[in-house]
Amino acid sequence: MEIVNQIVMKKISEVKPYVRNPRKNDKTVNLLVEIIPKVGFNVPLVIDRNGIIVKGHARYAAAIRLGMEEVPCVVTDADEETIKLDRLADNRISEFSEWINDELLHEIDMLNLDFDFDLESLGFPAPSDDFDADALFDDGVVGESEEDRRARYQAYLDNAAKEEAQNVAITTQEQVDRAKASALSVAEKPPKYAKVVCEHCGHVMFIKEGDAVFSTEQS
């Protein structure tokens, strides 16, 4: 089994598309031209020893349209038959994945895009504003005064700052190893977070479910 461990930069002129590429990817290229400037060109092409693309034709075409002079590449030493299998499998395997709808919608809702990008172009619904400060801090406690609500909100901020300080305090290798071992020993889903917007300043925050009492019912 080949395991590559080096990424090299290649000039666009040194990379060549595979002439019998079985995928038509014009739509993919158009989307990559939009998303790469936002997230970066962070997935290298895979090429053979002659510079012919094994995986990454759409990213290669997008790089040309974006005016990139070089692209990151992984050079494989696999034989021709293995390369053909790799090329076909790469184009096919992703089609077997399925979305977990509730987790997908949660991840979309957690996005706080500070740049102009239309998620619907990827076939995703736009992030909603369902979670806000009122839902979390207004009607969550019956009979709670404005002063108490602000105090509870401040307690959340203080607790978040304390947790952050504790995370930064993990400095020694022994502590890091213990933290890794602890993380690996817990096989459970990561917590979900609610996106909230401060009604006074508009600041966007993310609160772990369970840290604050809240109600989704509207009064």
Residue 182 identity (one-letter amino acid): S
| pTM tops 0.75 | no
Task: Locate 55 and state its tokens.
Answer: 């995986």
- pLDDT tens, residue by residue, 74-100: 999 999 999 999 988 887 887 887 777
Distance CA 29, CA 147 (A): 53
Question: Can you say how many angstroms the Cα of residue 92 is from the centroid of all Cα atoms in its chain?
Answer: 22
Q: Which amino acid is at 2?
A: E
C-alpha to C-alpha distance for 136 and 213, rounded to whole angstroms:
7
Question: Which residue's structure tokens are 């987790």?
Answer: 103
Any idea what the Cα angle at residue 115 is, between residues 208 and 201, rounded to 5°?
55
Alpha helices in the chain (DSSP H): 26-39, 57-65, 80-93, 101-109, 133-137, 146-168, 173-185
Q: Which of 49-53, 64-68, 204-208 has the lowest mean pLDDT?
A: 204-208
**Domains of the chain in sequence order:** 8-96 (3.90.1530.10), 129-208 (no CATH)
**105-113: average pLDDT:** 70
Residue 155 pLDDT > 90: no
φ/ψ of 167, rounded to 5, equals: -65, -40
CB atoms within 10 A of CB 192: 15
pLDDT for res 218: 39
Task: For 177, list phi and psi in degrees, rounded to 5.
Answer: -65, -40
The 10s digit of each residue's pLDDT in 14-27 is: 999 998 887 788 88
